[in-house]
Chain A
Amino acid sequence: MNKSLVLRGRLWVLRQDGRLFSDIDTDMIFHNAHLAVVEMEKMGQYAFGNLEGYQKFAEMAEPGDLVLAGDNFGSGSSRQHAVDCFKALGVQAVVARSFGAIYKRNAINSGFPVIELPGLPDGLFTHHAIAELDLEKGVLSSGTVSFTGLPMSGVASEIYSAGGLFQYAEHLEGV
């Protein structure tokens, strides 16, 4: 374990009509108009470029930020850009009630932490407050509030520690 399992940063609480923003699909995160971009460092500028109310996210995000959303974050396409755009901006992790399956895999494979908090109430966390995310325990806390979700799975945490899927697999036998 050479990487921090407790992350601390400013929390973006994504909301729509007063509730945690659900069903944020990959075209809202990283629009298909920019899919030909291959270099990760060029992807950050498009993060949430098509998400209503958050089009300026890329300009305002700071390295170390955390993102919080509702259900089914990252549904839709298989584009890895939708993970890499956050890495490019230095965002440390995305936390959501649930994730689209492909998005979750993409995040895990590129060593980007995603934590699920099923049942998280809409109003618990404050936008732009400093929060702490414990990956091993699956706990998000900020000030006096905290919520326990699902800890990072075994595979996810091993890939995260190794720094990515290829690095992880180097040490496995028979793969």
Chain B
Amino acid sequence: MGRTIVEKIIGRHGGGDCRAGDVVWMGIDNRTARDFAGASVVANLEQYGGDSPVADPGKTFFTFDCNVPANTIPYAENQQRIREFARDRGIRVYDVDAGIGSHVTIEEGYGLPGTTTVGTDSHLNIMGSVGAFGQGMGDTDIAFAFKTGKVWFEVPPSVRVELQGMPSRGTEAKDVALAMLGRFSGHELLGKSVEVYGPWAEQATLPDCITLSSLATEMGAIIALIPPNGNVLQYFGISREDAVYADPDAEYEAEYTLDIEGLMPMIACPPSPTNVFPVHEMTSVRVDGVFIGSCTNGTYEDLVLTAELLRGRKVAPGVMLKVVPATRTTWSRLLDEGYLKVIFDAGGIISNAGCAGCASGQIGMTGSGEVQVSTSNRNFKGKQGKGETYLAGIGTAVASAVLGRIASVHELWPR
């Protein structure tokens, strides 16, 4: 019997011929922690780490992305505690300037197809976008991974999702992900490794894959794995032989199909990412703020699209447009190429790279009654303040900022 992608990746990392349900020790290629929970990882290692708290400093790094630079004293304390621990042990710190750790992990070439990465970020399963394993874990797990290079893991059951057809023009990866969230709102994917197939997955760009896989956590899935397509292989300069694919006779716990032919832009209304509707049904909702960024929609391509849609336009009076590129590398490129100027001139507020509102960070919190359209991934009650958060793609976010109400990108197009 053949094996699924997750069974193969875990198998190559110490799991042997493992199958769903087996509990194995999995070797971890990249062991990371953020400024959030990183200090607790350090505390765990100081308590339990003994004389050699870090197995391999070359495979271990910290990424600061939650509160960057620290705007609260406790975060500043935690970051400094981590820096000192890291300095003493020769561990690299991607500091407050670097941006979102999961994106840095891909950009810096750690998160290659087929690798394993763990860290204190619940969206580290974003590695599914490149056909790699990633998982967010708590500070005990991560401290243990720092010390031993391993974690115990129960091989999750795999399910197969076939996306049939192609979405309509103006519909983005985020809308496809939202369609999946709406379809699987009944905990069908809870605890599963989801493999995504179909023509859309075969043509998706790396940023598209990142957007979709970043929402696996909200689907309740362990990970959403997209088998590396030509775009992803080309990004890393590798061939199919270097990546991991499921066997043709792999066994899935369930197989689903979802028709995305002609899919229109979608939006997740409060209070949950699975509360999904077509954008055109929500156009009477007035907005106070728009947030563009996060690990879900903060790539270079996302922000180029933002700038192109904003070119020659202005943000509606009274609406805040908050823009946060995912990483410093992205920031730099957007700066050099003039895109940030376009966003700025349209009325955008541009902040330094990081997770922003998703972690009570530098930008993006809401007050009671405030309505925010956000390209991020969670809109649970109280998550980003007392306001109401709607989750959408770039086109919807920009159109809403320009028109001062929820709007589809189609409303910006010439008639």
A38 with B140: CB separation less than 8 A: no
A27 with B78: CB separation less than 8 A: no
**A interface residue count range (under 10 / 10 to 19 / 20 to 34 / 35 or more):** 35 or more
Contact with A along B366-383 (1 / 0, CB 8 A): 000000000000101111
B74 with A37: CB separation less than 8 A: yes
B23 with A169: CB separation less than 8 A: no
Q: How far is B356's CA from A36's CA once the two chains are assembled, in angstroms?
A: 15
B382 with A78: CB separation less than 8 A: no
B383 with A32: CB separation less than 8 A: yes
> Could you say which residues of chain B place their CB within 8 Å of the CB of A36?
36, 39, 67, 72, 74-75, 77-78
B136 within 8 A of A: yes
Contact with B along A7-34 (1 / 0, CB 8 A): 0000000000000000101011001110
A153 within 8 A of B: yes
Taking a contact as CB atoms closer than 8 A, the residue among B43, B44, B138, B382 that contacts A31 in the complex is B382
A77 with B136: CB separation less than 8 A: yes
CB closest residue in chain B, given A110: B140
Closest CB-CB distance, B34 to chain A, in whole Å? 9
B217 within 8 A of A: yes
A154 with B360: CB separation less than 8 A: no
Taking a contact as CB atoms closer than 8 A, the residue among B44, B66, B121, B141 that contacts A106 in the complex is B141
A76 with B138: CB separation less than 8 A: no
B36 with A79: CB separation less than 8 A: yes
A80 with B37: CB separation less than 8 A: yes
State the majority secondary structure of interface residues on B.
mixed
> Could you say which residues of chain B place their CB within 8 Å of the CB of A50?
381-382
> Could you say which residues of chain A place their CB within 8 Å of the CB of B191?
98, 101
A92 within 8 A of B: no
B282 within 8 A of A: no
> Could you say which residues of chain A place their CB within 8 Å of the CB of B66?
35
A164 within 8 A of B: yes
B187 with A106: CB separation less than 8 A: no
Contact with A along B6-44 (1 / 0, CB 8 A): 000000000000000001010000000000110110011
> Could you say which residues of chain A place their CB within 8 Å of the CB of B217?
75-76
Taking a contact as CB atoms closer than 8 A, the residue among A27, A52, A105, A155 that contacts B141 in the complex is A105
Closest CB-CB distance, B410 to chain A, in whole Å? 32
B164 within 8 A of A: no
A120 within 8 A of B: no
For residues 378 through 393 of chain B, which have their beta carbon under 8 Å from a beta carbon of chain A?
378, 380-383
Q: How far is B120's CA from A106's CA once the two chains are assembled, in angstroms?
A: 11
> Could you say which residues of chain B place their CB within 8 Å of the CB of A80?
37, 40, 138-140
Task: Say whether, besides A32-B360, A72-B220, A109 and B383 are in contact (CB < 8 Å).
Answer: no
CB closest residue in chain A, given B140: A109
Closest CB-CB distance, A124 to chain B, in whole Å? 19
Most chain A CB within a 10 A radius of its CB, from B138, B150, B272, B378? B138
B152 within 8 A of A: yes
B150 with A165: CB separation less than 8 A: no
A65 within 8 A of B: no
CB closest residue in chain B, given A52: B381
Would you give 14 A-B contacts (Cβ < 8 Å), ordered by A? A25-B378, A27-B383, A37-B74, A72-B187, A72-B220, A76-B378, A98-B187, A101-B156, A102-B122, A102-B137, A105-B138, A109-B140, A110-B140, A154-B23
Interface residues of B (CB under 8 A from A): 23, 25, 36-37, 39-40, 43-44, 48, 66-67, 72, 74-75, 77-78, 120-122, 135-141, 143-144, 148, 150, 152, 154, 156, 187, 190-191, 217, 220, 222, 272, 359-360, 378, 380-383
Interface residues of A (CB under 8 A from B): 23, 25, 27-28, 31-33, 35-38, 50, 52, 71-72, 75-80, 83, 98, 100-102, 105-106, 109-110, 153-155, 164-166, 169, 175
